[in-house]
Amino acid sequence: MGGNRRHMGSIPGKSDVGEPGADLPPAPPVDLCDDQLRMASTIKSFHYKLQQRMTTAGDRTCTQETEEERWFRLIAEESEQMKSYTAAMHGIATQYWDPQEDKLRDGGQTKSCVTCPPITTRVIPSNDAICVTKRVRDTETVVVGSACERQRAACLRHNDRIKYSLQCVTEYFLGICRVPPLIASGDTNRSTCSEVADVLSCSAVAGAVYYEKLPLLASSSVKRWRRTYYDTHGRQAYPYEIDAEAYRVLLASERTVRDGNTAAPVCPLSSSGLVTTGTAGGTAANYMTMSRTEACRRINLDCPHPRLLGQQRVPPLLVLDIGSCYGPFGGRIVTNGVLQVPLAVTALDLSPYEGSGVIKADWLAIRFHDSDGATGRCSCDDEGCISGTTFDDHGHADCGVSLVRWCDEESGKYEGTGSARRILSLARGAFDVVFFCLLLSFLPHPRLRYRACLHAYLALKDGGLLVIVSTRTQGARRSLWVDEWIKCIEGIGFKRVHKNVMKQIVGLSFSKQPASEVSGDDSVLCGAEAWVERMMNRADALGGLRTIGDESPW
């Protein structure tokens, strides 16, 4: 479960930035302020208590325990306080962080459709393959002319944790497509079938549909290819050529894992159809195919693959939301402007909000099992998904395989009936995305944060995305903490994709690199538990993910 230590207590209507003497919005009712401050106090005090109990030298049992054992004991002892913490987190998030105008009601369910980019950013010069973007400060991006606008702007700042996470997913898997105009079926100017074939086979046709921004999953490889192309042909590649190369890169990554052969022939985008996905690259390749097919449908063109137009649903992205509390990502949809992709969310929390449907489990105690062919447990019922089942690569229910199992802590047998504590087991390498929204800032020790990231590596497909949102509470003494975290997490086997510093939060995202590409280390392929324990002996486990709270004298 995640938490925020700094902006919890900020009062709506009280400006964080602005010119001296600027008009402030009317003060909210006293009871409203008191209610928010009460919830903020509950959250902060619980953070303080966990941090103090985790690090104090006065606890007689501390010297007898590892940090992980101490964590399990503290969470068990603080179970009642956790319920109060959960209620406060739910209240402050839903009442003060989530603006209702960003939500659409559909059949009684909350659904949010996020396209990219939802927030204004500026590009910072970088030598990395993927540019770093930083959100422009509120004084530069939001022109506030009234008290209501200022209050709404403050609310949007607090909602960044959700919008930012969805933006990262959109940019990484979908990119941004040019949206073609809809053409009526009786339009005499509709394109011919031969023109359609040219477009889909990446021939140069006026008005061809192509990506304005490629999925970041393929961008680094495409960037290198563009340089080589220019050296070879003496000109820049055309957009449709770049699109085709991006698709080839994504599909090649899938075939590398499936066949172990990087030289396997790659079908062009126009005739590929959908592939069986075992990596994030294969997932993104499918979305490219479906995006182009949907673009054809929009401009009323004859598609060479009409079966794709009849898809009952777009295959969902398989998401783990860790520290979910009340399941804010359930029912969400991301879009590149053409294709709408639902999120199939498996949400976990130490103490879920009552009635939220979030699974009660400790992420640090998670186990992993191999499950060939499994593709996800879904909880987004409004998209036709059935809780507790899995989905094949075309989004159809497959009740024979589950990504979520329960096992007995002592015997290790699934569905154990003994008195021992039951442990959740997840299918290894089966998820496209893992969200850590305010999770790492909640955990009170560097080793716990490091273990959480190790488990994320095991849960993700090759090329999968880890999104981290943390609070800006480090202070001047820890001014370089973001770079330290990036270095530490990349040492596990990730590669940084996003780095965004916002007013109240810091956002990072990382792609999982195949184990064979991480310094030639393939020991993770042998056994999950043995690999985790070996990684926990590294120096980074103790000092790589530190916060200012870890250094406080209690």
Distance between CA 78 and CA 81 in Å, rounded?
5
> For residues 229 and 232, what is the distance between their CA atoms, to the nearest angstrom?
5
Nearest residue to 434 (alpha-carbon basis) of 454, 459, 406, 451: 459
Residue 47 class from Cβ within 10 Å (0-12 exposed, 13-18 middle, 19+ buried)? buried
Characterize 408-431 residue by residue with b for buried, 16 or more Cβ atoms within 10 angstroms of its Cβ, and e for exposed: beeeeeeebeeeeeebbbbbbbbb
Q: How far apart are CA 28 and CA 114, in angstroms?
A: 30
With the CA atoms of 519, 525, 530 and 536 taken in that order, what torsion angle do they form, in degrees rounded to the nearest 10? 30
* CA atoms of 507 and 192, how far apart (whole Å): 46
Which residues are within 8 A (CB) of 297 and not within 5 positions of it... i.e. 6 or more apart?
A: 303, 309
Q: Known binder of ligand: residue 310?
A: no
Closest CA to 215 of 315, 335, 108: 335
CB 242 within 8 A of CB 230: no
Strand partners, 112: 332
Angle at 334 between CA 377 and CA 99, to 5 degrees: 105
Residue 87: alpha-carbon gap to chain centroid:
24
Q: Which two tokens stand for residue 59?
A: 């606890």
- Please give the structure tokens belonging to residue 350: 């130490």
Alpha helices (H) in 1-125, listed in sequence order: 30-55, 67-77, 79-92
Q: Per the structure block, which two tokens stand in for 338?
A: 């053409």
- 3-state SS string over 342-359? EEEEEEEECCCCCCCCCE
- What distance in Å separates the CA atoms of residue 41 and residue 58, rounded to the nearest whole number? 25
- 540 annotated ligand binder: no
Instruction: Please give the annotated binding residues for S-adenosyl-L-methionine, written as ranges.
Output: 323, 349
Instruction: Please give the annotated binding residues, written as ranges.
Output: 323, 349
